[in-house]
Structure 1
Amino acid sequence: MRQIGFALLWLTLWLTISPVHASVANAPGANLEVSLITYGPGETYWERFGHDAIEVRDTASGEAISFNYGVFDFNEANFFVNFARGRMHYLMDAAPTSADERYYVEAGRSITRQPLALDANQANALRDFLLWNLRPENAGYNYDYYADNCTTRVRDALNRALGGVLVTQLRARAGGMTYRQQTDRLMSAQPWLMLVLDLGLGPYADQPLNAWQESFLPEVLQEQLRQVKLDDGHGGTRPLVLGEQVVSANRLDVPPRSPPDLRLSLAAAGLLFAALIMLARRNWPTGYALLGTLYLSAAGLIGVVLLALWTLTTHHSAWANANLLLFNPLAFLLFPTLWRARRGLAASRFIDGIIALQLLACMVAVLLHVLPGTVQQNQPWLLFALPVWLALAWSLRRHR
């Protein structure tokens, strides 16, 4: 995915569809070569998932145009408001392949070309569809991180040209990771952002995926196409991918092959924070109140955000998040009692009820995780939050 200004977009559109400049638009299907171009992950957070494009090349003129679906504009009206609400507007783009390649080479990101075995009719149909999709009235779409992004659009365009071959074969194949695992893996170079995303993802992100669904990532689509077979018309099959060429090698750090295991680190952090709360309660009352305030503020604010994501946005990957049982606005009600506790004053019966309700919520979170049929994999956050809530409950009720 990459950002581009609207002026450059419209210039690109004009160059692409103008008969004077774009022989790709007029070439017969027999002269068209189609390739999947995969670009490696970049350094900026919106580039971490990588990017890809469909290249259509006219063998007669040598002209090659790359079509991609990853254009957005920070300057669009209400961009950040729409982003927060889950209504992200993306656009299709097209540019000469050489211009795209220069951009990614300069950024140090890898470029891999996979020529595809489309026949003349399929290549012609794909080219016509891409040009139709490139028209201003057709170029926009509502972006979804996992279900409708720049790679799923490329995948769907190829599947359309191939008569449904991709969806048939890829749905029959199991995926390797979940949405959460792929997200953690690719964002692991930016740990704080990875933790924020992992905390905000609900059960949708932990559903088992087939290869079709997991092909929301460029590198996964690239791998899956290597295994796709086409009917050769003689009772046999032939590979969809004719070969693979590394146009430019990667010069950036490569994401790990598997996601980090967050359980040990977050469990250690939770136990350490709980131990500090109990030690401070005994030896440093003001420090105890400050530590408790820090945790309760974070828990309450996180709960408000998670609740808003569920009820006020279309970020369905964040809906029904079980972490709401661990971090929720109930935490705000404990502030006065926390500061009274540093003077040795016990919690009121009302606050006792709030503490009991929060502990019950934690127990429900544990049960939801251990009972059969559990989907959301939030063990790291359970291991972090449980010892802290137990320490706070003990310290607030210890004098009753």
Structure 2
Amino acid sequence: MFCKTLFPSLISTLCLTSNFAMAVEEMPILKAAGCIIQTEQGIVMSVNHRGQLQLPVGNPISGETWKDVAQRETMEETVTEFFEITTVPRTTRFEYMNNLDKIIPYGLHEIDEGDIQAVVQVLKNGPITQGQTVEDFGQALADYAGARYGVAVSSGTAALHLSVAALGIGPGDEVWEKFSHNALVVRDARARTEVAYNWGMFNFSDTDFWPRFVQGRMLYSMRGFPASAWLDLYRAANRDAWLQTVNLTPAERLELQTIVQEMDTEANRYYRYDYYLDNCSTRVRDVLDRVLEGRIRAETENLETGTSFRWHSARLLQSSHPYYAGFQFLIGPRGDEPISAWEEMFLPIRLKQYLDGMGTVDAEGAPTPLLGEAVHVVEADRDAIPLAAPEFLLGALLLGCAIGALFAGLGWMAGEGRRWGRRALALLGAAWSTGVGLMGTVLVLSWIFTEHIFWVLNENAFQANPLSLLLAVLLIREALNRKGHQAGVWIGFRADTLGKVVVGVALLGLVLQVLPGLDQTNGEVLAVLLPAHAGLAWGVTRAWPRSRV
């Protein structure tokens, strides 16, 4: 059992208050039990389970045998000064000197009926090597010692065999894989386990996945898996992977293992996912920050980056045009707010970069880098990750003008008496207005009925106006060309008037951007929708002029 606070005091107790003597070959007797002592001359001595003093074959520093060193007066004087030693005749039995009641013997146990029954209960009812009993024991010891955590391991030495590494994974093919991924790997050399703790688990087939997705209440989970299995998956998916040792002290490694093992239970594994504020990368960041007592947050929370959530998302989605367009439409002004380095670590690559530049201290208090050298364990054949957001404004403007010109051209042909022009304008205009109107309606309703906090007060609602749905209904009637109804009019609404209103609202959204607080970065949306709306309004006015209404 190892505990962050318990063991320094326990070793002190063993070495200073246990007062007994042992001797081997008339060697000096130490006042110590259950600990290891190294003299200035290099001799390492320890106490075995029978209380006998154990010595190495020789001095690992000088090469002398321990008999040679022990015969030197300087050796005896040095050890006497520091450990108050004495000598006794040749013997291998325990010789208690004084303070018998204060001795903590190694290997002498007091087992009563309650202990036996506790063991029987474990054998009958639960896991033998892990389980609730082990967790309760670790927590009880931590409470007794005044420590935050206690972890049961097979021996005190086993605690030193734990190591922690950060596993970084490069981008993949799916849209959610474009942002890369990461995990924490805990390796126990004695238990021969290497577990990768992954906070990015979700399943499309879950019965409530899609309702939660629509509502902005997605549940992700964390689970621990054999690290080698995960590396095989990333290798098959042609994704880069690298490992970096996290230079934590033994106590910090144990604390981290306790945290992740507690999370990796059915009661604690699920969490409310947010693509920017609470995702797989921020969870890794938060666990490390917790173990390091808030040092990561303290160093990065006020560090400006000059970037935003929108900028990073546009940078990483630029090769997936449909997803890029959908993201630019849905993300509102909150996505344009400047973010700190702490917030920027929602990206695994940024988390790695910031931790690479941080330092910590080892168990002896010496400064050391927080992360060790990156080892590339899986190399992928992919293009490099884009370093900057794209410039699609000109292309978006050309697309918007082309759509607007198509509508205007069909309207001109309809005004010249071409029935096919009027029919084509009605069909294409209805399809356009239906799509844009539905997008605007969904966007506005999401502010009220969902928890998508980054969609709120989205200025694209000016461009995707729900009023377009009324224009769509009227144009559908014209496409069906029913006899007996008044051309270009439906329940008092005129096609040309609705087209002009839609354009006017879109122009208002553009003009309002000069006001403080209304400066959402939506130039590409404006560039596509505004010219298209203008072309449709002109074409409708030309095809169904007021003189015919």
Note whether the superposition's TM-score is higher than 0.5: yes
2:395 equivalent among 265, 270, 276: 265
Shift of 1:286: 2.1
2: CA distance between counterparts of 1:36 and 1:218? 10
1:320 equivalent among 450, 457, 460: 457
Please, what TM-score do these two structures have when normalized by structure 1? 0.87
Shift of 1:140: 0.9
Shift of 1:62: 4.7
User: Is the Cα–Cα contact under 8 Å of residues 16 and 25 in structure 1 kept in the other structure?
Assistant: no
1: CA distance between counterparts of 2:521 and 2:362? 44
2:198 equivalent among 56, 68, 75: 68
2: CA distance between counterparts of 1:292 and 1:25? 70
Shift of 1:111: 0.6
Counting helix residues as a fraction of each chain, which structure ranks higher? 1
Decide which moves more: 225-234 or 73-82: 225-234
User: Is the Cα–Cα contact under 8 Å of residues 282 and 345 in structure 2 kept in the other structure?
Assistant: yes
Alignment correspondent of 2:153: 26
2: CA distance between counterparts of 1:181 and 1:25? 46
Write out aligned runs for 1:1-40 (5 A): 26=153, 28-40=158-170
Write out aligned runs for 1:320-399 (5 A): 320-335=457-472, 337-338=474-475, 350-351=493-494, 354-398=498-542, 399=545
User: Is the Cα–Cα contact under 8 Å of residues 202 and 320 in structure 1 kept in the other structure?
Assistant: yes
Shift of 1:369: 2.4
Alignment correspondent of 1:4: none
User: Is the Cα–Cα contact under 8 Å of residues 393 and 524 in structure 2 kept in the other structure?
Assistant: yes
What letter matches 2:451 in structure 1? Answer: T
What letter matches 1:367 in structure 2? Answer: V
Decide which moves more: 155-164 or 330-339: 330-339
Shift in CA distance, 176/237, structure 1 to aligned 2, threshold 3 Å = farther
Shift in CA distance, 75/159, structure 1 to aligned 2, threshold 3 Å = same
Alignment correspondent of 2:212: 82
Q: How many residues align?
A: 383
1: CA distance between counterparts of 2:300 and 2:367? 16
2: CA distance between counterparts of 1:286 and 1:15? 77
What letter matches 1:146 in structure 2? Answer: Y
1:311 aligns with 2:448: yes
Alignment correspondent of 1:11: none
Shift of 1:371: 3.1
Gaps of 5+ in 1: 1-13
Shift of 1:251: 2.3
Shift of 1:336: 5.3
Bigger relative CO (Cα 8 Å, ≥ 6 apart): 1
Shift of 1:15: 12
Shift in CA distance, 323/43, structure 1 to aligned 2, threshold 3 Å = same
What letter matches 1:291 in structure 2? Answer: L
2:261 equivalent among 110, 115, 131: 131
Alignment correspondent of 1:57: 187
Decide which moves more: 65-74 or 254-263: 254-263
User: Is the Cα–Cα contact under 8 Å of residues 250 and 363 in structure 2 kept in the other structure?
Assistant: no
User: Is the Cα–Cα contact under 8 Å of residues 247 and 362 in structure 2 kept in the other structure?
Assistant: no
What letter matches 1:97 in structure 2? Answer: A
CA RMSD of aligned residues (A): 2.9
2:435 equivalent among 298, 315, 320: 298
Decide which moves more: 300-309 or 108-117: 300-309
2: CA distance between counterparts of 1:45 and 1:345? 46
2: CA distance between counterparts of 1:246 and 1:29? 27
Alignment correspondent of 1:150: 280
Shift of 1:272: 0.5
Shift in CA distance, 375/208, structure 1 to aligned 2, threshold 3 Å = farther
Could you list the per-position Cα deviations for residues 133-162 of structure 1 after superposition, in whole angstroms to 9, with x for gaps in the alignment?
112111111111111111111110010000
Alignment correspondent of 1:3: none
2:228 equivalent among 98, 117, 121: 98
Shift in CA distance, 397/15, structure 1 to aligned 2, threshold 3 Å = farther
1:187 equivalent among 290, 294, 317: 317
Shift in CA distance, 61/17, structure 1 to aligned 2, threshold 3 Å = closer
Could you list the per-position Cα deviations for residues 360-399 of structure 1 after superposition, in whole angstroms to 9, with x for gaps in the alignment?
3223311232334444210111111111222223333453
1: CA distance between counterparts of 2:160 and 2:473? 76
Shift of 1:66: 1.1
What letter matches 1:256 in structure 2? Answer: P
The percent of aligned pairs where both chains have the same amino acid is: 31
Alignment correspondent of 2:426: 289
Shift of 1:359: 3.3
2: CA distance between counterparts of 1:271 and 1:292? 15
What letter matches 2:456 in structure 1? Answer: W
Could you list the per-position Cα deviations for residues 49-70 of structure 1 after superposition, in whole angstroms to 9, with x for gaps in the alignment?
2211111122445532111111
The DSSP-based 3-state class of the residue aligned with 1:100 is helix
2: CA distance between counterparts of 1:235 and 1:138? 34
1: CA distance between counterparts of 2:373 and 2:212? 41
1: CA distance between counterparts of 2:506 and 2:153? 64
What letter matches 1:358 in structure 2? Answer: V
Could you list the per-position Cα deviations for residues 181-237 of structure 1 after superposition, in whole angstroms to 9, with x for gaps in the alignment?
222222223211221122111112111111111111111111111112335799985
The DSSP-based 3-state class of the residue aligned with 1:177 is strand
Alignment correspondent of 2:81: none
2: CA distance between counterparts of 1:57 and 1:235? 23
What letter matches 1:51 in structure 2? Answer: H
Shift of 1:32: 2.0
2: CA distance between counterparts of 1:17 and 1:394? 74
Gaps of 5+ in 2: 1-126, 133-150, 414-420
Shift of 1:18: 6.8
What letter matches 2:464 in structure 1? Answer: F
2: CA distance between counterparts of 1:140 and 1:15? 26
User: Is the Cα–Cα contact under 8 Å of residues 341 and 347 in structure 1 kept in the other structure?
Assistant: no
1: CA distance between counterparts of 2:190 and 2:285? 27
What letter matches 1:211 in structure 2? Answer: A
Alignment correspondent of 2:376: 246
2:238 equivalent among 98, 108, 117: 108
User: Is the Cα–Cα contact under 8 Å of residues 17 and 131 in structure 1 kept in the other structure?
Assistant: no
Shift in CA distance, 346/46, structure 1 to aligned 2, threshold 3 Å = closer
1:207 aligns with 2:337: yes
Alignment correspondent of 2:148: none
Please, what TM-score do these two structures have when normalized by structure 2? 0.64
1: CA distance between counterparts of 2:152 and 2:293? 22
